[in-house]
């Protein structure tokens, strides 16, 4: 794993945008695996700026997002489809037909997951997968478990994830309790992975991800086995490594 220390959130976002932009420049019709959450927002802002400045062309890019809440429609402003439209797709020249997010409105979980695996199979492989990191070590919505997940799966969100995400909803009761997520093996099949982490509250889990054992109790620890992972973390997130 290559580790790049950023000064702060803005620096981490710029460095992440540099890497994503480089991927698009070297392969204009690349497939990007994208994430939601608060961590990538700054990187998306920077990509939007570069697209507006004519430095970056999304016209041939395909995107495949990690996850979606089960039960939320694309119009719901807490859905991950809405988030992606709002933070990236509405502001760059990507063809929305080439942007994929699991179908949160598909009630049949098995169908929702197999449909998404089919999209990953036919539109992939993912050239660059962007990941954020949950406080409990989750990637996508793959929560700590007894074994690593393989394909897209329907997960029950843990209390810690619901707690972390309730800030985006009017009340905790409105946070969906389930989500469809790309599996750990699916994430690992990306050619390159870019993990971005910011803030003191993630410092301990970053240490476990990098230095701890590879265990499904910390899903992101699996990244230790991927041949091409770059971690861009700010000084706070890397603070446990300070002398």
Residues that bind ligand F6R (CB under 6 A): 35-39, 66-67, 132-134, 138-141
- Closest separation in Å from C-beta 88 to ligand F6R: 12
136 is catalytic: yes
Catalytic residue among 51, 65, 67, 106: 67
Work out whether strand 178-181 and strand 153-156 pair parallel, antiparallel, or are unpaired: antiparallel
Residue 173: strand, helix, or coil: helix
Residues β-bridged to residue 5: 233
| Cβ proximity to ligand F6R, 60 vs 235, nearer residue | 235
| Cβ proximity to ligand F6R, 59 vs 70, nearer residue | 70
- Closest residue to ligand F6R using C-beta atoms: 132
Catalytic residue among 143, 153, 165, 236: 143
Q: Which helix (H) or strand (E) holds 187?
A: helix 184-188
67 is catalytic: yes
| Cβ proximity to ligand F6R, 135 vs 191, nearer residue | 135
Catalytic residue among 87, 138, 165, 236: 138
**d(Cα 185, Cα 38) in Å, to the nearest integer?**
24
**d(Cα 134, Cα 31) in Å, to the nearest integer?**
24
Whether the CB-CB separation of 21 and 56 falls below 8 Å is answered with: yes
Residues forming the active site? 67, 136, 138, 143
């Amino acid at each position: 794993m290559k580790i790049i220390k950023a000064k702060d959130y803005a620096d981490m976002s710029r460095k992440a945008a540099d890497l994503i932009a480089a991927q698009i420049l070297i392969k204009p019709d690349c497939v990007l695996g994208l994430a939601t959450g608060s961590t990538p927002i700054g990187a998306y802002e920077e990509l939007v700026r570069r697209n507006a400045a004519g430095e970056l062309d999304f016209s041939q890019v395909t995107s495949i997002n990690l996850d979606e809440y089960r039960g939320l429609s694309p119009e719901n402003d807490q859905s991950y489809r809405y988030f992606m439209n709002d933070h990236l797709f509405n502001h760059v020249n990507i063809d929305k037909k080439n942007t994929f997010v699991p179908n949160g409105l598909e009630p049949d979980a098995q169908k929702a997951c197999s449909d998404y695996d089919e999209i990953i199979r036919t539109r992939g492989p993912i050239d660059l997968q962007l990941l954020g990191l949950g406080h409990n070590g989750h990637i996508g919505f793959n929560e700590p478990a007894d074994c690593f997940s393989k394909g897209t799966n329907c997960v029950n969100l843990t209390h810690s994830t619901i707690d972390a995400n309730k800030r985006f909803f009017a009340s905790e009761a409105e946070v969906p309790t389930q989500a469809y997520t790309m599996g750990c093996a699916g994430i690992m099949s990306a050619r390159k992975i870019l993990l971005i982490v910011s803030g003191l509250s993630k410092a301990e889990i970053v240490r476990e991800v990098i230095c701890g054992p590879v265990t499904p109790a910390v899903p992101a620890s699996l990244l230790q086995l991927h041949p091409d992972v770059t971690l861009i973390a700010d000084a706070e997130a890397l603070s446990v490594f300070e002398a």
